Amino acid sequence: MSEGRLRKLIIGDAQADRVVPPSGFTAHLTLFASGAMAFLAVFALALSLASGRLADRWAEELARAATLRINAPLEQRDAQTRQALTILNQTPGVASARALSSEEQAALLAPWFGSSLPIDRLPVPQLIEVIEDEQGYDSTGLRLRLQAEVPGAVLDDHTRWRAPLVDAARALRRLGAVSILLIAGAMAAMVTLAANAALAANAQVIEVLRLVGALDSYIAHAFVRRFTLRALGGSAAGVALGMIGVWLMPEASNEGGFLTGLGFQGWGWLLPLLIPLLAAAVAFMATTRAANKRLGDLT
C-alpha cells in the first residue's frame, strides 16, 4: 500500500465516508469483538513472554551448575575430595570445580540443624560445586570415571528434574503464541462476517454507486476504512484494559515463583501496543478480501 493510500485510509475523505449509511449494529459488534480479542491477546502475550523468560532462566541456571557429593568415611573424605577435584580439573567442559568450605556447608545445613553443628566431626558428605563452560561436559563419561576412581562420589547434575520443568515452560510459551495466532484468526473471521453483513445490507447503495460510475476500489475503500478504524479503536481499548489488568498483578517474587512473574518487563511493556496495529491490519485484509469478493461477484 502506498503512503498516499495509507494516509487517505487514516484521514479519510469526509464526503466518501457519507456515501455508505452508518450501520450501528455491525459497528458496535466489531468494536466489542475486537476489544475483547485484544484484551485476551494481552494475556496470551503476557503468558507467553513470562513462560519464555522462565524457560530461559531455568535452562540457564540449571544447566550451568552441578554438585558432586563425596559420601565417604571421615578419614577418606579429604583424600577422595582431592582425587575428585583432580579428575574434575582434567575433564574438558568443566570451567571450575571448588570444594565448599566447612563454613559454607554449615550455612547450608543451618536451617535444619542450627548453627552450632560441629560439622568437621560428623560424617556429612563433602560438596563440590561444578561450573560448566559453554560447551558443557560429558556427564556419562565423568560418572564412569568417578565411579572407578572415587567410589564415594555422586554427581548430581539436576538434569533429571530440570528437563520436564523447562519443557513445561516452553510448552506454555508455545501455547501463548498459538493463542495469539488463534485470536488473530478468530478476529479475521469475525470482521469478515461483519463486513459481509454490511456489504449485503448495503447492496442497494453499492448498486447506485456503480450506476453513477464509482470504481470498485472506491466502494471497497468506504467499507475497509470503517472496519479498519473500528478494529483499531476497539482493540486499543481492549489492550488498555488488558495492560491495566496485567499491571495490577503482584510483582514477581521468589516466594510466588511462576505466577507472580506473569507480566511484562522493561521493553516488554511496548509489545502489547503492537496489538491494535495488528488488529487493524487483520481487519484491513479481511474487509478488503470480503469487499473485493463481493464486488467481483456483481455483474
Partner 1 sequence: MIELENVGYNYGGGELLTNVSVKLAPGSFHFLTGPSGAGKTTLLKLCYGALTPTSGRVRAFNMDVQGLDRDQMAHLRRRVGVVHQDCRFLDHLPVIENIALPLIVSGKDLGGEEANLRELLNWVGLSSRADALPPELSGGERQRAALARSVILSPDVIIADEPTGNVDWEMSQRLLQLLVELNRMGKTILVATHDMALIRAAKNQVQARVLRISSKQLHLAGADL
Contacts of 30 (CB under 8 A, 6+ apart): 190, 191, 194, 227, 230, 231, 234, 283
Contact region with partner 1 (CB under 8 A), list: 93-101, 207-215, 229-237, 251-259? 207-215
> Across 53-198, where does the E strand assignment appear?
65-70, 94-99, 126-132, 153-156
Residue 209 makes contact with partner 1 by CB under 8 A: yes
Do the Cβ atoms of 241 and 39 come closer than 8 Å? yes
The answer to the question of residue 24 lying near partner 1 (CB under 8 A) is no
Decide: helix, strand or coil at residue 277.
helix
Least distance to partner 1 from the beta carbon of 236, Å?
Answer: 28
Binding piece for partner 1, criterion CB under 8 A, among 16-24, 25-33, 115-123, 153-161: 16-24
* Beta carbon nearer to partner 1, 212 or 248: 212
Grid cell 454490511 — which residue?
198
Question: Taking CA 273 as the corner, what is the angle to CA 175 and CA 35, rounded to the nearest 5 degrees?
Answer: 75
Q: Are 198 and 21 in contact (CB under 8 A)?
A: no
Q: Does 18 bind partner 1 (CB under 8 A)?
A: yes
Q: Which of 62, 182, 184, 214 is in the footprint of partner 1 by CB under 8 A? A: 214
Contacting partner 1 (CB under 8 A), which of 175, 182, 205, 278? 205
Contact letters (x/-) for partner 1, 145-184, by CB under 8 A? ----------------------------------------
What is the smallest separation between the CB atom of 292 and partner 1, expressed in angstroms?
11
Per CB under 8 A, which region of 118-126, 191-199, 203-211, 274-282 contacts partner 1?
203-211
d(CA 181, CA 185): 6
Candidates 56, 129, 132, 216; binder of partner 1 (CB under 8 A) is 216
Q: Which residues contact 32 (CB under 8 A, 6 or more apart)?
A: 234
Expressed in angstroms, the distance from the first to the final Cα of the chain is: 27
27 in contact with partner 1 (CB under 8 A): no
Altogether, the residues listed in the chain come to a count of: 299
Applying CB under 8 A, the residues found at the interface with partner 1 are 15-16, 18-19, 21, 204-205, 207-218, 295-296
